[in-house]
Amino acid sequence: MKLTLGFSPCPNDTFIFDALIHHKIDTGGLEFDVAYHDVETLNQKAFRGELDITKLSYHAFAYAAKDYALLDAGSALGFGVGPLLICKDEQIAQRLKDMLAAGEPLSVTDTTLKIGIPGKYTTANFLLGLAFPGLQNKVELVFSDIESSLLDGTIDLGLIIHENRFTYQDKGLHKIVDLGDYWERTTSCPIPLGGIVIKRRLDEAVQLKVNELIRQSVQFAFANPKSGIDYIRAHAQEMEESVMYKHIELYVNKYSEDLGVTGRAAIQQMFDKAVNLDLIPQTNTPLFLTK
What pTM, to 2 d.p., does this model score? Answer: 0.82
Say how many CA atoms lie within 13 Å of 15 toward its Cβ: 26
Over residues 212-255, the pLDDT tens digits come to 999 999 999 999 999 999 999 999 865 688 888 888 988 899 99
Instruction: Give the residue-averaged pLDDT of 113-117.
Output: 95
| Structure confidence at residue 290 as a pLDDT band (50, 70, 90) | confident
Instruction: Tell whether 226 is in a known binding site.
Output: no
Confidence grade of residue 105 (pLDDT, cut at 50, 70, 90): confident
- CATH architecture classification, 84-187: 3-Layer(aba) Sandwich (3.40)
Domain made up of 2-78+191-276: CATH architecture = 3-Layer(aba) Sandwich (3.40)
Q: Is residue 171 a known part of a binding site?
A: no
- The end-to-end CA distance of the chain, in Å, is 21
**Residue ranges of the chain that CATH labels 3.40.190.10:** 2-78+191-276, 84-187
Residue 149 labelled as part of a binding site = no
Catalytic site residue from 22, 37, 59, 162: 162
Any binding-site annotation on 199?
no
The question of whether 162 is a catalytic residue gets the answer yes
Average pLDDT over residues 81-94: 91
User: How many helices (H) and strands (E) in the chain?
Assistant: 13, 11
| Chain centroid to CA 255 | 13
Q: What is the DSSP string of 237-276?
A: SS--HHHHHHHHHHH-SHHHH--HHHHHHHHHHHHHHHHH
Tell me the backbone φ, ψ of residue 263, rounded to 5 degrees.
Answer: -65, -45
pLDDT per residue as tens digits for the range 172-198: 999 999 998 888 888 888 989 899 999
- Reduce the DSSP state of residue 206 to 3 states and report it: helix
The answer to whether 56 touches 197, Cβ cutoff 8 Å, is: yes
Query: Is it the case that residue 155 has pLDDT exceeding 90?
Result: yes
Encode pLDDT of 1-47 as tens digits.
Answer: 999 999 999 999 999 999 999 999 999 999 999 999 988 899 999 99
Report, as an integer, the average pLDDT of 252-278. Answer: 91
120 is in an annotated binding site: no
**Does position 100 have pLDDT exceeding 90, yes or no?**
no
pLDDT at 289: 83
Instruction: Give the burial string for 199-238 (b: 16+ CB within 10 Å, else e).
Output: beebeeebbebbbebbbbbbbbbeeeeebbbeebeeebbb
